[in-house]
């Protein structure tokens, strides 16, 4: 089985370079596809309280038989719980639903609500060893810079997010936000790597030409582009053949010219 490459976060924790997302899945689909993904070799599962399938994801992890310490599980705090008082309780609730003792990564799902209070709670959970890494999601570059600097300079909290999970695909490459992420040592995680099927991504001529020249699918080319950019992509699928296809991306390399052609699609 392929050993997935990893990226080291600013605190030394390793995150798999490719993961599996479970948004918009029924409970049956989530349980089954998480088990299938882990059997295929994925080791990063991305869920959230708002997906309302944490229990099913937990059952999928159980069913897989893969040891807990070989899996990287990401959860997210929903806006309604974004405050110092509620964040710790919400974290505990997610752990109970997932049937886990800890998460590998806990993200502020959206830049709304009392994000500074919630972050204080996140840092306390992290410093107490209850979660391996903490981060944010859907922060633009400007919001991210403001968040890091306000925490550091005004609130005296030095711990910056280790990850920012944002919508990222060839048609939305987050070039500006990436500069801020690089400045503060924040790893770029990309949701909707296939643009949720929009932009005619699966028939796009540029992507199709590149795919054909490697004997690969367009989906595989897109995920390979993410890996070569150092973006942690978390594709979602409920179909076994696609779950396998999306993981079969470690045996080819896009050339500089092909990477440049994809850069032009932004
Ligand atoms: P994706 O870009 O991953 O697209 C998923 C769609 O593509 C599904 O319709 C799936 O259909 C289809 N698909 C998957 N693989 C292939 C393939 N090889 N060929 C053709 N079609 C394919 O969108 P998501 O929104 O699901 O994003 C991925 C993950 O990112 C989510 O599951 C979630 O974990 C995370 N996310 C985070 C957000 C945030 O706010 N932080 C917001 C949105 C998503 P099928 O299942 O039928 O195969």
pLDDT exceeds cutoff 90 at 171: yes
Question: Structure pTM?
Answer: 0.98
pLDDT at site 3: 81
Residue 165 alpha carbon, nearest atom of ligand 1 = 41
Can you say how many angstroms the Cα of residue 32 is from the centroid of all Cα atoms in its chain? 20
Question: Distance, CA 128 to ligand 1 centroid (Å)?
Answer: 33
- Over residues 27-82, the pLDDT tens digits come to 999 999 999 999 999 999 999 999 999 999 999 999 999 999 999 999 999 999 99
* H/E stretch holding 105: strand 105-108
Structure tokens at 216: 């690969």
- Residue 247 to residue 188: CA distance in whole angstroms: 19
223 lines ligand 1 (CB under 6 A): no
- Residue 3 to residue 16: CA distance in whole angstroms: 9
181 lines ligand 1 (CB under 6 A): no
Question: Distance, CA 203 to ligand 1 centroid (Å)?
Answer: 17
Closest CA to 72 of 239, 187, 167: 187
pLDDT at site 244: 98
* H/E stretch holding 237: none
- Residue 207 to residue 263: CA distance in whole angstroms: 11
User: What residue has token string 């990850």?
Assistant: 163
DSSP state of 12: S
* H/E stretch holding 252: none
* 108 Cβ contact list (under 8 Å, min separation 6): 76, 77, 82, 115, 118, 119, 122, 135, 136, 137, 161
DSSP state of 203: G
* 189 Cβ contact list (under 8 Å, min separation 6): 15, 19, 135, 137, 163, 164, 165, 166, 231, 232, 233, 234
Closest CA to 221 of 240, 200, 237, 201: 201
- Over residues 117-130, the pLDDT tens digits come to 999 999 999 999 99
57 lines ligand 1 (CB under 6 A): no
pLDDT exceeds cutoff 70 at 1: no
Question: Distance, CA 158 to ligand 1 centroid (Å)?
Answer: 34
Burial code (b: 16+ CB inside 10 Å, e: under 16) for 225-260 equals: bbbbbebbbbbbbbeeebbebbbbbbeeebeeebee
Arithmetic mean of pLDDT, 172-184: 97
Burial class (CB in 10 A: 0-12, 13-18, 19+), 117: middle
Q: What is the DSSP string of 117-158?
A: HHHHHHHHHHHTTSBS-EEEES--HHHHHHHHHIIIIIS---
Residue 166 alpha carbon, nearest atom of ligand 1 = 41
- Residue 23 to residue 33: CA distance in whole angstroms: 11
């Amino acid at each position: 089985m392929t050993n997935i490459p990893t990226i080291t976060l600013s605190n030394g924790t390793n995150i798999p370079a490719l993961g599996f997302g479970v948004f918009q899945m029924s409970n049956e689909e989530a349980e089954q596809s998480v088990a299938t993904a882990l059997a295929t070799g994925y080791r990063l599962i991305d869920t959230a309280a708002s997906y309302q399938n944490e229990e099913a994801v937990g059952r999928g992890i159980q069913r897989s038989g893969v040891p807990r310490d070989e899996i990287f599980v990401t959860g997210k705090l929903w806006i309604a719980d974004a405050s110092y008082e509620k964040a710790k309780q919400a974290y505990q609730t997610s752990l109970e639903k997932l049937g886990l003792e800890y998460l590998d990564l806990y993200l502020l799902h959206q830049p709304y609500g009392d994000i500074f209070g919630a972050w204080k709670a996140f840092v306390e959970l992290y410093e107490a060893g209850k979660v391996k890494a903490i981060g944010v999601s859907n922060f633009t570059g400007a919001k991210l810079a403001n968040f890091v600097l306000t925490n550091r300079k005004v609130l005296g909290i030095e711990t910056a997010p280790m990850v920012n999970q944002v919508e990222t695909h060839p048609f939305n490459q987050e070039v500006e936000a990436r500069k801020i992420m690089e400045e503060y040592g924040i790893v770029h995680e990309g949701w909707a790597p296939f643009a949720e099927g929009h932009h005619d991504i699966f028939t796009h001529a540029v992507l199709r030409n590149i795919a054909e020249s490697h004997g690969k699918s367009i989906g595989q080319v897109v995920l390979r582009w993410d890996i070569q950019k150092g973006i942690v992509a978390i594709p979602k699928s409920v179909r076994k053949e696609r779950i396998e296809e999306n993981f079969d991306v470690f045996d080819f390399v896009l050339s500089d010219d092909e990477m440049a052609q994809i850069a032009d699609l932004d």
